[in-house]
Amino acid sequence: MVPFAGWEMPVLYPSAGVLKEHNQCRTESALFDVSHMVQLKLHGKDRVAFLEKLVVGDIAGLAQGFSRLSVFTNEKGGIIDDTVITNAGDHLYVVVNAGCAEKDIAHLNQHMKEFKSKGGDVNLEIFSEQNALIAVQGPKTEEIMKRLVKDGDITTMDFMTQRHLTVNGVPCIVTRCGYTGEDGFEISVPTNRAVALSSALVKEGVHPAGLGARDSLRLEAGLCLYGHDIDAETSPIEAGLGWLINKKRKEQGGFLGHETIMKHVKEGVQKKRVGFTVTGAPAREGATIHNEKGDQIGTITSGTVGPTAKKNVAMGYISTEFSKTDTPVVIKVRGRDQHAVVAKMPFVETHYKKPADKK
């Protein structure tokens, strides 16, 4: 167990270990306690207009029951946090990172005060004060959930959709999403029922997994970790997240940092987030990236041994001129030069549940 953002978090479980937990998620089903994530609800008739001032995503175009990954930005176009937003009908359901909870809530409240002073109707509810959050991920997850859900057919749920379902007799908010690259669900469950539901899932064959496996899984899937791969000094374009901003939002703007972000879109950027495969020892956060002449051209932000990829994988920021796939680079790992190449992400094929016409 390790402390994180005021929580005690499991790095691994003694019955398995990081490697086994990683593989169980890729081949079977794994359970992650992600109750440290902050669940928020935005109420009020102007909730969409308010949130679109703070995030880059098209929230007005989000159909009821659908979810969307987005980012909060600051005035400089940097990323305050990444978030998943769901149109829950009469409110917006928003999940943000635990490490950013205090600043995210302060940011929302600050802008909400100004918005409401101009007649806007919006209110914030911190929903994680009453509900825990459990992530169940892996190829056998749907089959297991199917046995526990009796009031709906979870096999018809697509990636990034949400439903209210009863799971093992407990009313829950179920979103088909996750942070591993595998198919799975995040289950928002009343806190006093979370242990019982987790135990029921484990009894059905789901394996508990900790932060160690979660990190190697998300890195193989090419997914960012806030505070490491994205931060307040990095724009969505530099981070390779320009796809979060659709044509409508690019044209209409209205969100913090729009001018800087559009400048990056039109004129390009000096650095880009890319993936690397590394020969020799794995590259860790902070390792410097060099060209073949020895000049520093970037920095690693995340790196690990990729159990499924069967190679050492990493991501980081590199000068745009060296960002093309298959470009050879040198990464300094504990004072030694390790050969690496720029690689496409994800490093492992993702298995999200999508409609047949979108596969």
Q: pLDDT of 223-248, one tens digit each?
A: 999 999 999 999 999 999 999 999 99
Question: Predicted confidence band at 358 (pLDDT cuts at 50, 70, 90)?
Answer: low
Mean pLDDT of 103-109: 98
Q: pLDDT of 56-65, one tens digit each?
A: 999 999 999 9
298 vs 287: CA distance, rounded Å: 9
Q: pLDDT of 108-126, one tens digit each?
A: 999 999 999 999 999 999 9
Q: pLDDT of 305-342, one tens digit each?
A: 999 999 999 999 999 999 999 999 999 999 999 999 99
Average pLDDT score, the chain = 97
Q: Which of 6-10, 77-81, 218-222 has the lowest mean pLDDT?
A: 6-10
Q: Domains along the chain?
A: 2-219 (3.30.1360.120), 270-345 (2.40.30.110)
pLDDT value for 15? 85
pLDDT value for 359? 47
